[in-house]
Structure 1
Amino acid sequence: MNYSEYIPGHLPLIISIPHGGQLFPPEIPDRKKSHPSVVKSNDLNTQDIGRELADKIMVHFKGKRPYLVINNLGRSHGHPENFIEIGYVLSAETLSYSISQINENPEIYSGSSIRALYNRKSNSIQFVDLLYGKTTSLGGRLQSYGYDTIPSHIHKHPLKDEKYFHGDYCVQKYGSR
């Protein structure tokens, strides 16, 4: 039914793209009414970004590519800001802390989905640089390609009335917490 796509790779890396699909088959019930608390928003550009990332990795590793798993089913109701929201399993409140509060609290980085990355890089980089550094964070890199991203050096945290997805099942289960 083309609900999902699997692209085999050569590297021990899987890029999962669970959101951003465009299929809305009539045989799959709409959860808007039956499960109002479930997030049902579609994410813009995630498939493009995931595929582009895989291509860049393939160039870097001379033709060897990561595995890709792509969900082609769509969702509806997103946040009006249309940011790419990078969920590191850190709340909007935590992202709004000062640089020193974030860097000096080991519970913040140890509870994040990028803990293992930070542990490998902690001798050469501060944790906030991985969160929203211009060239050292995923958000900063995506911003440099023209994608409004949060957290990033441009949008470090959501503003008071802005919604933010901090990372749900896949990030919590398979991130490095």
Structure 2
Amino acid sequence: MFGKSTLLLTLAASVLTLRAEEVSKYVDVRPGSLPIILTVPHGGDLKPANILARRYGVTAKDTNTAELSLIISEELKKLYGGTPHLVICRLHRSKLDCNRELSEAAQGDPMATATWKRFHDSAEEVEKQIARSHGAGLTLDLHGHRHEDERVELGYLISGSLLNTSDEALNSDPKFLRLTSVRELDLRSPQTFAQLIRGPQSLGAMLEARDFRSIPSPSKPSPGKAIYFSGSYDIAAHGSRDGGTVSAIQVECPWNGVRDTEANQRRFAQALAAALGDYFKTHFQTPLAPAKN
């Protein structure tokens, strides 16, 4: 016969198994073969009744960002024969915000906490895999904004006020490299830091060459006094600011012309996929290609 302690352990194990199965429904993890991770923290729709609503913080979802990530994956496969790794939170932001530290993100709810941990643990595991198979890689954290200036906002953990400084200051002051989520990529790239984030071969410039106005870029090197999202928890956690060889950029997509229709999502995905091939050749100094078995 089972003893009382054995029964309790069995019940506890069953509860943990059920929780793991439920959490797996809330984080969509899709393995890839390219040295790119697409994280989507705010594109979910699920609002399970057993997870408490968040009491503070932003709770609106970034509409169509999860859908956009899948289209980007398709376009990358067409061009390079492999797919990025996807980590998508399927919970609505009113239940969990994976782009915040845990206390604000889950606000004490056990299931939201477990989901947050799975989201970030999954991204960390992919980073390790990319480091082993490719040596270095890039996390793109997909978001949506509705700012008056409808540009793609690329965040490197350099605030708008700091971006308003000169290229000379960006290149000479070591604080910028201590702050940025592309710290390791800056060391790898043959270009200066200012060129990497807003020069003629920056990601912003490459997107603008494909008809998507961006910031920072040569045409808009800094936001001035306008609202600009420079990045938050995800690219700090899954970039190279604190070490590692996977750098990270927050990609804030405007609604009109990018997220509003499937046709525009496809057009942006094609532009981003093509730009990333040039970006890897220029700054990683390697072709964008799947890992070799």
TM-score range (shorter-chain normalised) is: 0.7 to 0.9
- Structure 1: gaps (5+ residues): none
**Structure 1 length normalisation: TM-score?**
0.73
1:168 aligns with 2:232: yes
- Structure 2: gaps (5+ residues): 1-21, 95-143, 242-293
1:126 aligns with 2:145: no
- Alignment equivalent of 2:41, drawn from 10, 18, 22: 18
Q: How big is the shift at 1:70?
A: 2.2
RMSD: 3.1
d(CA) in 2 for partners of 1:73, 1:148: 30
Cα pair distance change 1:94/1:30, threshold 3 Å:
same
Q: Counterpart in 2 of 1:138?
A: 203
Q: How big is the shift at 1:164?
A: 2.0
Q: How big is the shift at 1:52?
A: 4.7
Aligned partner letter, 2:73: A
Q: How big is the shift at 1:40?
A: 4.0
Cα pair distance change 1:70/1:108, threshold 3 Å:
same
d(CA) in 1 for partners of 2:58, 2:206: 26
Q: How big is the shift at 1:97?
A: 0.4
- Alignment equivalent of 1:91, drawn from 133, 154, 159: 159
d(CA) in 1 for partners of 2:177, 2:211: 27
Cα pair distance change 1:6/1:26, threshold 3 Å:
closer
Q: Deviations over 1:120-166 (max 9, x none)?
A: 01xx31211111124x2222223333333222223222231x22222
Which is greater in Rg?
2
Q: How big is the shift at 1:78?
A: 4.6
Please state which structure has a larger fraction of its residues in helix.
2
d(CA) in 2 for partners of 1:11, 1:80: 32
Aligned partner letter, 1:95: L
d(CA) in 2 for partners of 1:143, 1:89: 21
8 A contact 1:40–1:78 mirrored in 2: no
For the residue of structure 2 that corresponds to 1:90, the secondary structure is coil
1:8 aligns with 2:75: no
Q: Counterpart in 1 of 2:77?
A: 58
- Between the aligned residues of both structures, percent identity stands at 34
Q: Counterpart in 1 of 2:129?
A: none
- Alignment equivalent of 1:159, drawn from 224, 231, 243: 224
For the residue of structure 2 that corresponds to 1:130, the secondary structure is helix
Q: How big is the shift at 1:174?
A: 1.4
d(CA) in 2 for partners of 1:50, 1:98: 34
For the residue of structure 1 that corresponds to 2:155, the secondary structure is coil
1:69 aligns with 2:87: yes
**Structure 2 length normalisation: TM-score?**
0.48
For the residue of structure 2 that corresponds to 1:15, the secondary structure is strand
Q: Number of residue pairs matched?
A: 167
8 A contact 2:161–2:224 mirrored in 1: no
